[in-house]
Structure 1
Amino acid sequence: MTAHIAQTTLVEEAAAAAEGVAGVAFLKPGLAERLRSPLSRPAAHTGRTRPAGVRMTADGEDGSWHVEIQVVVARRARAVDVARAVRAHVRDRLTTLAPTHPTPTVTVTVTGRV
């Protein structure tokens, strides 16, 4: 991929990386997802809606990012192990996609269990 990647692409990649970790049931849905009609359209120019459980902000002048991820874990999984795995997986995925940027800071919050 190119050195400059759109933030929306990185947010989608972070969401996909988090959802791929064993023990993650799903990303925390936002209010819009709870109220949205099943017939509603995804965001423009993307294949899906913007993930509500992921927020990415610029962390400093050096171009670093701070990524906040909110997940709901499966009841059978230890929340701390899942949170650590999500943090490592997301950080590794974003570092692979944008190797010229500083390593992002990733914060994972477990918001529920199902």
Structure 2
Amino acid sequence: MTARTAPAALVEDVAGVVENVPGVAFLKPGLADRLRSSLSRPGEGTGTGRGPIAGVRLTPGPDGADGWHVDVQVVALRRTRAVDVARAVRSAVEEHLAARLTGRPVSTVTVTVTGRV
């Protein structure tokens, strides 16, 4: 994995982990997802059959520190407590990245529940 493709691959990995956490309805859609017409071509974006992922953002650690800051925005199921979903998502992302990025620390993981359905 090159430095240029690492963030895109990591974003997809994190999105897959988040979508499998109990209580998560879906990742927060971005503006492009809301405006995309039914005629748009699937697979635009990262080249893996999936469009850009708006609910997951990876940025380099603060002040050039080694690692990543991960920001996740999800919509939770109404029957769950938002705090429990946020904690479960954070834990799942931290565990996944610790296993995936051995030797490269994750600076922080922030989870925001932006809505409920």
| TM-score, structure 1 normalization | 0.89
- Give the corresponding residue for 2:93: 90
Shifted more, 11-20 versus 100-109: the winner is: 100-109
1:100: Cα distance to partner?
A: 1.9
Shifted more, 38-47 versus 96-105: the winner is: 38-47
- Give the corresponding residue for 1:46: 48
Whole-Å Cα distance in 1 between the matches of residues 70 and 24 of structure 2? 17
Structure having greater relative contact order (Cα 8 Å, sep ≥ 6): 1
Aligned length: 113
Whole-Å Cα distance in 1 between the matches of residues 2 and 100 of structure 2? 8
Secondary structure of 1:47's match?
Answer: coil
Query: Residues 62 and 102 of structure 1 are in contact (CA less than 8 Å); yes or no, is this contact kept in structure 2?
Result: no
- The one-character-per-residue Cα deviations of 1:39-94 (angstroms, maximum 9, x if unpaired) are 42321522211211011100133321000000000000011000000001011111
Structure 2 gaps, min length 5? none
| TM-score, structure 2 normalization | 0.87
- What percentage of residue pairs aligned between the two structures are identical? 56
Letter in 1 for 2:105: P
C-alpha RMSD of the superposition: 1.8
Tell me which of 92, 96, 115 is aligned to 1:112.
115
Whole-Å Cα distance in 2 between the matches of residues 23 and 43 of structure 1? 27
- Give the corresponding residue for 1:10: 10
Secondary structure of 1:88's match?
Answer: helix
- CA gap 1:14/1:44 in 2 versus in 1, 3 angstroms: closer
Structure 1 gaps, min length 5? none
- Give the corresponding residue for 2:58: 56
Whole-Å Cα distance in 2 between the matches of residues 53 and 106 of structure 1? 13
Query: Residues 24 and 82 of structure 1 are in contact (CA less than 8 Å); yes or no, is this contact kept in structure 2?
Result: yes
